[in-house]
Structure 1
Amino acid sequence: MNISVADYVGYAGGFVSAITFLPQVIKLAKTKSVKDLSSLTLFFLFLNVSLWLIYGILVNAMPIMLTNGIVLSMIIMMIYFKIRYNKN
Protein backbone atom coordinates (compact mmCIF):
# COMPACT_ATOMS: atom_id res chain seq x y z
CA MET A 1 0.00 0.00 0.00
CA ASN A 2 1.57 3.26 -1.14
CA ILE A 3 0.60 6.34 0.79
CA SER A 4 1.15 9.57 -1.11
CA VAL A 5 1.81 13.07 0.16
CA ALA A 6 -1.79 13.87 -0.77
CA ASP A 7 -2.96 11.04 1.50
CA TYR A 8 -0.91 12.39 4.41
CA VAL A 9 -2.35 15.86 3.85
CA GLY A 10 -5.84 14.34 3.65
CA TYR A 11 -5.39 12.44 6.89
CA ALA A 12 -3.89 15.48 8.65
CA GLY A 13 -6.72 17.72 7.47
CA GLY A 14 -9.19 15.05 8.42
CA PHE A 15 -7.75 14.77 11.91
CA VAL A 16 -8.00 18.52 12.46
CA SER A 17 -11.56 18.54 11.09
CA ALA A 18 -12.50 15.56 13.22
CA ILE A 19 -11.45 17.22 16.48
CA THR A 20 -13.10 20.54 15.61
CA PHE A 21 -16.29 19.73 17.53
CA LEU A 22 -14.64 17.86 20.40
CA PRO A 23 -14.36 20.93 22.71
CA GLN A 24 -18.06 21.68 22.15
CA VAL A 25 -19.08 18.08 22.90
CA ILE A 26 -17.00 18.09 26.09
CA LYS A 27 -18.46 21.44 27.18
CA LEU A 28 -22.02 20.24 26.57
CA ALA A 29 -21.38 17.06 28.53
CA LYS A 30 -19.91 18.99 31.47
CA THR A 31 -22.28 21.96 31.66
CA LYS A 32 -25.49 20.31 30.41
CA SER A 33 -26.33 23.71 28.96
CA VAL A 34 -27.62 23.72 25.39
CA LYS A 35 -29.50 27.02 25.34
CA ASP A 36 -27.04 28.64 22.92
CA LEU A 37 -26.80 25.62 20.63
CA SER A 38 -28.75 26.22 17.44
CA SER A 39 -30.97 23.35 16.30
CA LEU A 40 -30.92 24.64 12.74
CA THR A 41 -27.12 24.70 12.73
CA LEU A 42 -27.03 21.14 14.05
CA PHE A 43 -29.43 20.07 11.31
CA PHE A 44 -27.26 21.58 8.56
CA LEU A 45 -24.08 20.17 10.11
CA PHE A 46 -25.68 16.73 10.24
CA LEU A 47 -26.80 16.99 6.61
CA ASN A 48 -23.44 18.35 5.43
CA VAL A 49 -21.33 15.70 7.14
CA SER A 50 -23.71 12.89 6.15
CA LEU A 51 -23.44 13.89 2.50
CA TRP A 52 -19.62 14.08 2.70
CA LEU A 53 -19.55 10.65 4.34
CA ILE A 54 -21.70 9.19 1.57
CA TYR A 55 -19.47 10.86 -1.03
CA GLY A 56 -16.37 9.40 0.63
CA ILE A 57 -17.92 5.95 0.56
CA LEU A 58 -18.94 6.30 -3.10
CA VAL A 59 -15.45 7.37 -4.24
CA ASN A 60 -13.67 5.10 -1.71
CA ALA A 61 -11.74 7.99 -0.13
CA MET A 62 -10.63 6.77 3.28
CA PRO A 63 -9.60 10.22 4.66
CA ILE A 64 -13.06 11.59 3.83
CA MET A 65 -14.82 8.55 5.26
CA LEU A 66 -12.84 8.57 8.51
CA THR A 67 -13.11 12.30 9.05
CA ASN A 68 -16.81 12.53 8.41
CA GLY A 69 -17.59 9.36 10.33
CA ILE A 70 -15.92 10.81 13.42
CA VAL A 71 -17.47 14.26 12.96
CA LEU A 72 -20.90 12.71 12.40
CA SER A 73 -20.62 10.83 15.69
CA MET A 74 -19.84 14.10 17.51
CA ILE A 75 -22.74 15.89 15.84
CA ILE A 76 -25.04 13.05 16.85
CA MET A 77 -23.79 13.46 20.44
CA MET A 78 -24.53 17.19 20.29
CA ILE A 79 -28.03 16.48 18.96
CA TYR A 80 -28.52 13.98 21.79
CA PHE A 81 -27.41 16.57 24.36
CA LYS A 82 -29.66 19.19 22.76
CA ILE A 83 -32.67 16.89 23.09
CA ARG A 84 -31.79 15.61 26.55
CA TYR A 85 -30.82 18.90 28.21
CA ASN A 86 -33.23 21.26 26.46
CA LYS A 87 -35.38 22.93 29.14
CA ASN A 88 -38.22 24.25 27.03
Structure 2
Amino acid sequence: MKKHLMIVSGTFIAAALSIGVLYRWPIALGTLAAWVTTGSFFLQVVHIIRNKDTTGISLGMYASLFFGVSCWTAYGFNIQDIPVMTANGITMLLAVVVIALKLYNEREIKPRKRRKIKTAPLSSTPPQNHLSAAGVLKSKQV
Protein backbone atom coordinates (compact mmCIF):
# COMPACT_ATOMS: atom_id res chain seq x y z
CA MET A 1 0.00 0.00 0.00
CA LYS A 2 2.84 2.37 0.83
CA LYS A 3 4.39 1.75 -2.60
CA HIS A 4 1.11 2.61 -4.34
CA LEU A 5 0.72 5.78 -2.28
CA MET A 6 4.26 6.84 -3.24
CA ILE A 7 3.55 6.24 -6.94
CA VAL A 8 0.30 8.20 -6.88
CA SER A 9 1.69 11.13 -4.88
CA GLY A 10 4.82 11.25 -7.08
CA THR A 11 2.61 11.33 -10.15
CA PHE A 12 0.55 14.23 -8.78
CA ILE A 13 3.71 16.17 -7.93
CA ALA A 14 5.22 15.52 -11.38
CA ALA A 15 1.99 16.63 -13.05
CA ALA A 16 1.81 19.85 -11.02
CA LEU A 17 5.47 20.68 -11.71
CA SER A 18 5.12 19.92 -15.43
CA ILE A 19 2.05 22.09 -15.78
CA GLY A 20 3.66 24.90 -13.80
CA VAL A 21 6.91 24.85 -15.76
CA LEU A 22 5.50 24.20 -19.25
CA TYR A 23 2.34 26.31 -18.99
CA ARG A 24 3.76 29.01 -21.28
CA TRP A 25 4.81 26.43 -23.92
CA PRO A 26 1.61 24.60 -24.89
CA ILE A 27 3.28 22.47 -27.58
CA ALA A 28 5.84 21.16 -25.08
CA LEU A 29 3.12 20.55 -22.48
CA GLY A 30 0.94 18.76 -25.03
CA THR A 31 3.86 16.63 -26.21
CA LEU A 32 4.74 15.64 -22.65
CA ALA A 33 1.09 14.80 -21.94
CA ALA A 34 0.88 12.72 -25.10
CA TRP A 35 3.97 10.68 -24.27
CA VAL A 36 2.97 10.10 -20.66
CA THR A 37 -0.54 8.92 -21.53
CA THR A 38 0.76 6.73 -24.35
CA GLY A 39 3.37 5.30 -22.00
CA SER A 40 0.65 4.34 -19.52
CA PHE A 41 -0.95 2.08 -22.13
CA PHE A 42 2.45 0.56 -22.87
CA LEU A 43 2.75 -0.29 -19.17
CA GLN A 44 -0.66 -1.99 -19.33
CA VAL A 45 0.45 -4.15 -22.27
CA VAL A 46 3.65 -5.15 -20.44
CA HIS A 47 1.61 -6.01 -17.33
CA ILE A 48 -0.76 -8.22 -19.34
CA ILE A 49 2.09 -10.02 -21.12
CA ARG A 50 3.92 -10.71 -17.85
CA ASN A 51 0.88 -11.88 -15.87
CA LYS A 52 -1.17 -13.42 -18.70
CA ASP A 53 -4.31 -12.23 -16.89
CA THR A 54 -6.91 -10.08 -18.62
CA THR A 55 -9.95 -10.88 -16.49
CA GLY A 56 -10.06 -7.37 -15.00
CA ILE A 57 -9.82 -5.63 -18.38
CA SER A 58 -13.00 -4.24 -19.93
CA LEU A 59 -13.26 -5.17 -23.60
CA GLY A 60 -15.86 -2.43 -24.14
CA MET A 61 -13.58 0.21 -22.63
CA TYR A 62 -10.67 -0.75 -24.90
CA ALA A 63 -12.95 -0.95 -27.95
CA SER A 64 -14.20 2.56 -27.15
CA LEU A 65 -10.64 3.73 -26.56
CA PHE A 66 -9.62 2.28 -29.94
CA PHE A 67 -12.46 4.15 -31.63
CA GLY A 68 -11.58 7.41 -29.87
CA VAL A 69 -7.85 7.34 -30.55
CA SER A 70 -8.51 6.32 -34.16
CA CYS A 71 -10.57 9.49 -34.54
CA TRP A 72 -7.85 11.53 -32.80
CA THR A 73 -5.22 10.04 -35.12
CA ALA A 74 -7.29 10.98 -38.18
CA TYR A 75 -7.79 14.46 -36.70
CA GLY A 76 -4.02 14.78 -36.17
CA PHE A 77 -3.41 13.90 -39.82
CA ASN A 78 -6.09 16.36 -40.89
CA ILE A 79 -4.55 19.31 -39.01
CA GLN A 80 -0.99 18.00 -39.54
CA ASP A 81 -0.20 17.91 -35.82
CA ILE A 82 2.64 15.42 -35.30
CA PRO A 83 2.25 14.99 -31.50
CA VAL A 84 -1.48 14.27 -31.88
CA MET A 85 -0.86 11.86 -34.77
CA THR A 86 2.00 10.02 -33.10
CA ALA A 87 0.64 9.66 -29.58
CA ASN A 88 -2.82 8.60 -30.66
CA GLY A 89 -1.51 6.32 -33.40
CA ILE A 90 0.71 4.49 -30.91
CA THR A 91 -2.12 4.33 -28.36
CA MET A 92 -4.38 2.94 -31.08
CA LEU A 93 -1.89 0.13 -31.77
CA LEU A 94 -1.51 -0.58 -28.04
CA ALA A 95 -5.30 -0.73 -27.66
CA VAL A 96 -5.42 -3.32 -30.47
CA VAL A 97 -2.73 -5.34 -28.66
CA VAL A 98 -4.72 -5.26 -25.40
CA ILE A 99 -7.92 -6.29 -27.22
CA ALA A 100 -6.08 -9.14 -28.98
CA LEU A 101 -4.49 -10.33 -25.73
CA LYS A 102 -7.86 -10.23 -23.95
CA LEU A 103 -9.53 -12.26 -26.70
CA TYR A 104 -6.62 -14.71 -26.82
CA ASN A 105 -6.28 -15.19 -23.04
CA GLU A 106 -10.01 -15.66 -22.51
CA ARG A 107 -10.78 -17.83 -25.52
CA GLU A 108 -12.65 -21.06 -25.00
CA ILE A 109 -10.18 -23.92 -24.98
CA LYS A 110 -11.69 -27.08 -26.38
CA PRO A 111 -10.51 -30.33 -24.82
CA ARG A 112 -8.30 -32.34 -27.11
CA LYS A 113 -9.52 -35.67 -28.38
CA ARG A 114 -7.47 -38.58 -27.16
CA ARG A 115 -5.73 -40.48 -29.88
CA LYS A 116 -6.05 -44.22 -29.83
CA ILE A 117 -2.71 -45.95 -29.69
CA LYS A 118 -2.49 -49.02 -31.86
CA THR A 119 -1.04 -51.97 -30.04
CA ALA A 120 0.06 -55.37 -31.28
CA PRO A 121 -2.44 -58.15 -30.62
CA LEU A 122 -1.64 -60.24 -27.57
CA SER A 123 -0.50 -63.80 -28.18
CA SER A 124 -2.45 -66.59 -26.52
CA THR A 125 0.72 -68.49 -25.60
CA PRO A 126 3.12 -67.20 -22.98
CA PRO A 127 6.65 -66.23 -24.09
CA GLN A 128 9.37 -68.84 -23.83
CA ASN A 129 12.75 -67.91 -22.45
CA HIS A 130 15.90 -68.78 -24.42
CA LEU A 131 19.56 -68.08 -23.86
CA SER A 132 21.36 -66.23 -26.62
CA ALA A 133 24.90 -67.00 -27.76
CA ALA A 134 26.16 -64.36 -25.32
CA GLY A 135 24.31 -65.99 -22.44
CA VAL A 136 21.62 -63.29 -22.19
CA LEU A 137 18.11 -64.43 -21.41
CA LYS A 138 15.72 -63.56 -24.25
CA SER A 139 11.96 -63.91 -24.45
CA LYS A 140 10.55 -65.44 -27.59
CA GLN A 141 6.91 -65.42 -28.65
CA VAL A 142 5.65 -68.74 -29.96
Question: TM (normalized to structure 1)?
Answer: 0.87
Q: Distance in 1 between matches of 2:86 and 2:72?
A: 10
The residue aligned with 1:75 is 95
Determine the structure 1 residue equivalent to 2:49: 29
Query: When the two structures are aligned, how many residues end up with a matched partner?
Result: 85
Query: Segments of 4+ in structure 1 off by > 4 A?
Result: none
Of 49, 52, 57, 2:72 maps to 52
- State how far apart, in whole Å, the 2-side matches of 1:80 and 1:23 are: 16
Please report the RMSD computed on the Cα atoms of aligned residues, expressed in angstroms.
1.5
Q: Which has the higher helix share?
A: 1
| Larger RCO, structure (CA 8 Å, separation 6 or more) | 1
Amino acid at match of 1:32: K
What is the percentage of aligned positions where both structures have the same residue?
25
- Given residue 54 of structure 1, which amino acid in structure 2 is its aligned partner? A
For 2:107 and 2:59, locate their aligned partners in 1 and report how far apart those are by CA, in whole Å. Answer: 14
Please state which structure has a larger fraction of its residues in strand: 2
Deviation at 1:6, TM superposition (A): 2.7
After superposition, give the CA deviation of every residue in 1:39-84 in whole Å (9 maximum; x if it has no partner): 1111111111111001001111111001101111111110110111
Q: Which has the larger radius of gyration?
A: 2
